[in-house]
Structure 1
Amino acid sequence: MPDVSTSAGGESASGDVPETISTYLRLRGLEPSARGVRRRRRRYESDDDNAPFTSGRDPRGLDDVLAALTREAGWNPQLAREDVVRTWNEVAGEDTARHTRPVAFTDGTLTVQADSTAWAKQLQLMRAHIMTEIVRRYPEAGVTGVRFIGPDVPSWKWGPRTIPGRGPRDTYG
């Protein structure tokens, strides 16, 4: 095995092989040669992303990595819509949130169900304020409108699977 002792300048005693590369080669059981180092150096100069000890190779925080992942995967609009639902009590207010809940997102329209028809009508009057708050907090959500509906009551007269007729009569008795 060759002598890989270093001088004060960081170069090996054999010539122009840097200490870091000679240490790496020694640990791998390979013999450092100036010709191989020059070949690798040229390759690293053309591919700066893989060069060690260069800028951009610093470790990044988990939040930065996750933000880049969601942005590249195109998940930001969906996550923003999820945040609207998750923080509904902050967007609409505590009192309003106790009587309402978001139930659907369809083509940019947020559908909110209220406990009573009175709450649904009151929220229709507050539509502009709630819409402004959603757009201010979550611009990536893509909410273009808000629809307020009353309580969910079963109906056999409406919907895509209705048939003409009187409906169920002896089902509950």
Structure 2
Amino acid sequence: MSPEPRDPATPERPDDPARAGAPAGAEPPEHDDSGLDLARSIARSLARPGAKRRTASGAASKFRPTRRRVDTQASGAHPDERDPQLLDATMGRLVRDQGWGTDVRVHGVFSRWEVMVGREVAQHCTPESFDRTDAGGGKLVVRTDSTAWATQMKLLAPTVVRRLNEELGDGTVTLIEVLGPHGPSWKRGLRSVRDGRGPRDTYG
């Protein structure tokens, strides 16, 4: 079958641009279009509606600052040490922790001295201090306003000790030291006498 006649007005074109100018019988060079296909694939994926949103959200999440987690302790339903405390409870715990319980109770007795020993005795005998002894008990120092009342207080000492231990606990007070009245001193000054007997009690 004879080939179709060519139109003389139509210029002759090579079948493949790669073959233009190539010598007859030469193999056409192989074309690696993998890079072009990859670029087209990326362009198509970016052209999709959700691609930009995903890319933007991914970039934002990459640079989003991380917040440091702070453990906070909130008060629960039951009372604990984090709740507001009453002053009485706080002071009581402080006294107990410091071992001041006995001293606080003894000074409480000082304020009720008249009730414990009677009005007449309280007018002439006043508690001055409370000291702990090496034996484990306590010594109460009482000051009197005369030697007569000092003698009277020494006679009343066993009864007062028993009454104090009923209030403070057994063995809290084991001894009462009775002191006489404060008197003037002649141990200093121009007319002082060295190694003298000192002032005598003239207040009885």
Question: Which TM-score applies when normalising by structure 2?
Answer: 0.47
**Which structure has more helix as a fraction of its residues?**
1
Aligned to 2:126: 101
Q: Aligned equivalents of 1:84 and 1:98: distance in 2?
A: 16
| Pair 1:139–1:117, CA change in 2 (3 A) | same
Matched letter for residue 56 of structure 1: P
Query: Which residue, 156, 161, 182 being the options, matches 1:131?
Result: 161
Query: Do the aligned partners of residues 164 and 106 (structure 1) sit closer, same or farther apart at CA in structure 2, a change above 3 Å counting?
Result: farther
Tell me how far 1:53 sits from its aligned partner. Answer: 2.1
Q: Is the 8 A contact 1:112 1:148 kept in 2?
A: yes
Cα offset, 1:51, TM superposition: 5.3
The aligned length equals: 120
Conserved in 1, the CA contact under 8 Å of 2:142 and 2:176? yes
Gaps of 5+ in 2: 1-68, 133-137, 188-192, 199-204
Q: Could you tell me which residue of structure 2 aligns to residue 26 of structure 1?
A: none
Q: Secondary structure at the match of 2:75?
A: coil
> Whose RCO is larger (CA < 8 A, sep 6+)?
1
The CA deviation string for residues 56-109 of structure 1, in whole angstroms up to 9 with x for no partner, is 336543322221121112222222232232222122221111111112333321
1:63 aligns to what? 88
Deviation, 1:167, is 8.5
1:92-137 C-alpha deviation (Å, 9 max, x unpaired) = 2211111111123333211111122221212212112111121121
Identity %: 30
Query: 1:78·1:141 contact (CA, 8 Å) conserved in 2?
Result: no
Corresponding residue number in structure 2 for 1:74: 99
Distance 2:145 2:127 in 1: 12
Q: Which runs of 5+ in 1 are unaligned?
A: 1-35, 45-49, 158-162, 169-173
Secondary structure at 1:126 match in 2: helix
Residue 149 of structure 1 pairs with residue 179 of structure 2: yes
2:181 & 2:84 partners in 1: Cα distance?
Answer: 51
SS state at 2:183 partner: coil
Aligned mates of 1:69, 1:132 — CA distance in 2: 29
Give the alignment's TM-score, normalised by structure 1. Answer: 0.54
C-alpha contact 2:128 2:143 (8 A) present in aligned 1: yes
Letter in 2 for 1:113: R
The CA RMSD measured in Å over matched residues stands at: 3.5
